[in-house]
Amino acid sequence: MDRALVAAGRELGQNLEWTESERDVLARACSTADRLDRVYDRELGSAEANPAVLVKLSAELRALDRQVVDFCSRLHPGVAG
């Protein structure tokens, strides 16, 4: 995303920065995805891994991926407001 911001800045001939709310969206998206990945990896590596739990976690990972894409699509580098 930072590369997209830099590219948009180059196109506009400006040095762009994420707004506070945009930084918050990016941080939350990354943090949530990382947290679920850790839970999934821990369950997958468990000697007593429960297939039903893994299926539910996999579905949650897919849902989070969709949300991350949705949230990131709302960011418009170089567009005010």
30-60 per-residue burial string, b: 16 or more CB within 10 A, e: under 16: eeeeeebeeebeeeeeeeeeeeeeeeebeee
According to the model, what pLDDT value does residue 79 have?
A: 61
Q: Rounded to an integer, what is the distance from CA 7 to the centroid of its chain? A: 20
- What global pTM score does this model have? 0.56
- The domain segmentation of the chain, as residue ranges, is 19-81
Which mean pLDDT values do the consecutive 10-residue runs of the chain (81 residues) have? 86 87 82 81 84 86 83 69 50
pLDDT at 18: 86
